[in-house]
Amino acid sequence: MIDISGLTKHFGGTPVLDGIDLQIADGERVVVIGPSGTGKSTLLRCLNFLDVPQAGQISIGDVTVDAAKARKSDILALRRRTAMVFQNYALFANKTAKQNIMEALVTVHKRPVEEAEKRAMAVLAETGLADKGDSFPSALSGGQQQRVGIGRAMALEAELMLFDEPTSALDPEWVGEVLDLMRAVAERKQTMLIVTHEMQFAREIADRIIFMDGGKIVESGSPSEIFGAPKDARLQKFLKRVGE
């Protein structure tokens, strides 16, 4: 169970997250939609302290962190329970696909190198990249790089996987292969929090969709409720703008 309470983040005095409350059940797939600049990506980044929130409490499994008094050890414990997929891949350019997947296993989770390598090769096979283990990011397509990024997150076997607009930097020809891999991850009952502009994908994969605007969760519901019977005027306007 993931429990987020009163999560608040300001940038230069401007509120970006305004007291977010959100609970996510084990195995639940929650998709976040909303206009650009409304705090969606910041929400994900605050959950593993890539952005440090000013206030709020985050609980993931048996780890609870109070943002106002978080210690380095608390933050590390929280990060060990999350895995993040970034929109710009965030791969190490000087490491192969296999080494990129191994990195966090060895440095953060302290796995033996041989064990990490075995896990990395297994994950590469699962992502359809078994023959790309020794390839550097520069030799991979955008879709392949993002699949390595997802594989890196899969390898950690984290309680919560965070996806920050994972297809936004991709050429259209590569979007489908990344979404297919995310569907495969979802079928394993992996707990997922996904920020995306892919509305059809959101319909297909989400157990629940939350709509954010102005740093707040404005509306939450099933895909049929959000897309079929939106209540809030801001959500209605957003859906019209994106063609839903």
36 plus 100 within the same structural domain: no
Q: Which domain holds residue 147?
A: 88-157
Pull the structure tokens for residue 49: 């302290």
9 plus 77 within the same structural domain: yes
For residue 198, being part of any structural domain is answered with yes
**Predicted structure pTM score:** 0.93
Per-residue pLDDT of the chain (244 residues; tens, 9 = 90+): 899 999 999 998 888 999 999 999 999 999 999 999 999 999 999 999 999 999 999 999 999 999 999 999 999 999 999 999 999 889 999 999 999 999 999 998 999 999 999 999 999 999 999 999 999 999 999 999 999 999 999 999 999 999 999 998 888 889 999 999 999 999 999 999 999 999 999 999 999 999 999 999 999 999 999 999 999 999 999 999 997 7
139 plus 165 within the same structural domain: no
pLDDT of 169: 84
Tokens 């390595």 map to which residue?
A: 148
pLDDT of 69: 92
pLDDT of 3: 97
128 plus 66 within the same structural domain: no
Pull the structure tokens for residue 185: 């991850």
19 plus 136 within the same structural domain: no
pLDDT of 13: 81
In contact, 223 and 203? CB cutoff 8 Å? yes
Which three-class secondary structure state does DSSP give residue 199?
helix
CA distance 127 to 166: 15
77 plus 163 within the same structural domain: yes
169 plus 52 within the same structural domain: yes
168 plus 57 within the same structural domain: yes
pLDDT of 12: 86
166 plus 244 within the same structural domain: yes
Per residue in 22-71, pLDDT (tens digit) is 999 999 999 999 999 999 999 999 999 999 999 999 999 999 999 999 99
For residue 185, being part of any structural domain is answered with no
What's the total number of domains in the chain? 2
pLDDT of 243: 78
Pull the structure tokens for residue 34: 């909303």
165 plus 54 within the same structural domain: yes
Tally of residues, the chain: 244
In contact, 174 and 189? CB cutoff 8 Å? no
164 plus 243 within the same structural domain: yes
CA distance 138 to 148: 12
Residue type at position 87: Q
Q: Assign residue 74 the CATH number of its domain.
A: 3.40.50.300
Question: Which strands form 63-66's sheet, in the order they lie side by side?
Answer: 14-24, 2-11, 55-60, 63-66
